[in-house]
Amino acid sequence: EAQVTQNPRYLITVTGKKLTVTCSQNMNHEYMSWYRQDPGLGLRQIYYSMNVEVTDKGDVPEGYKVSRKEKRNFPLILESPSPNQTSLYFCASSPIWDRVSEQYFGPGTRLTVT
Amino acid sequence: AQTVTQSQPEMSVQEAETVTLSCTYDTSESNYYLFWYKQPPSRQMILVIRQEAYKQQNATENRFSVNFQKAAKSFSLKISDSQLGDTAMYFCAFRGDKVIFGPGTSLSVIP
């Protein structure tokens, strides 16, 4: 089944404890992206990747890191999480970066930082 | 900078009735696409419909249709014959050089 998977689905952590949210897609997509969703703000792009070893900042990159060593994986790293990073996170992918392609979203990761 | 606005944070509609969700956007780009995504309580993001900016004809997908007014930069979603399963958050999204989502409209379908 073609899909985007994220792990974990739920995470509660404490301020400053490094964490990684994994994202994997099995559709051989070139483009991958991370979003955070907050009430009243919709989804905001954190980072995106047009292909392996190519990543770039989105609108809200502060406090996050990403890497794209393999085509299928695009982990999101929070080196020192803070409470303002409590949010719902989505990974998404599409075949290529163009304006028409639909993005396929993962199931979301609910992160709480205390 | 591009912006996407959804002025209705919450809406409700009676089952089998028609409802229209509004979306306006601002951009200086001429080549872009617009999307409506549905997010049910399961949180999964589901594509509802997409519209190409250079196409005059409004997109339609079964009970879902859009009213695209390019000059007014308006992209509303009409849901006909509303069903209980349409209860969800709906996001309007702009895709040009960047991807921009609106803040969402929470739609409740009342039996």
Whether B70 contacts B54, CB under 8 Å: no
Q: Rounded to 5, what percent of chain B is helix, strand, coil?
A: 5, 55, 45
Q: pLDDT of A55-93, one tens digit each?
A: 999 999 999 999 999 999 999 999 999 999 999 999 999
**Minimum-distance CB partner of A107 among B32, B33, B43:** B43
Tokens of A55: 């990543």
| SS3 (DSSP) at A82 | coil
What is the average per-residue pLDDT within A19-25?
98
A35 in contact with chain B, both atoms CB, cutoff 8 A: yes
B95–A99: do the CB atoms touch at under 8 Å?
Answer: yes
Q: Rounded to 5, what percent of chain A is helix, strand, coil?
A: 5, 50, 45
Q: CB-based contacts of B55: which residues, under 8 Å, 6+ apart?
A: none
Q: Which residue on chain B is closest to A37 by alpha carbon? A: B103
What is the average per-residue pLDDT within A42-52?
95
- Is pLDDT of A52 > 80? yes
A21 in contact with chain B, both atoms CB, cutoff 8 A: no
pLDDT lower than 70: segments of chain B: none
A42–B91: do the CB atoms touch at under 8 Å?
Answer: yes
A99–B44: do the CB atoms touch at under 8 Å?
Answer: no
Whether B77 contacts B48, CB under 8 Å: yes
Whole-number pLDDT of residue B98: 86
| Alpha carbon of residue B102 to chain centroid | 9
Place of tokens 């069903």: B83
Whole-number pLDDT of residue B2: 83
What CA–CA distance (Å, rounded) separates A58 from A44? 8
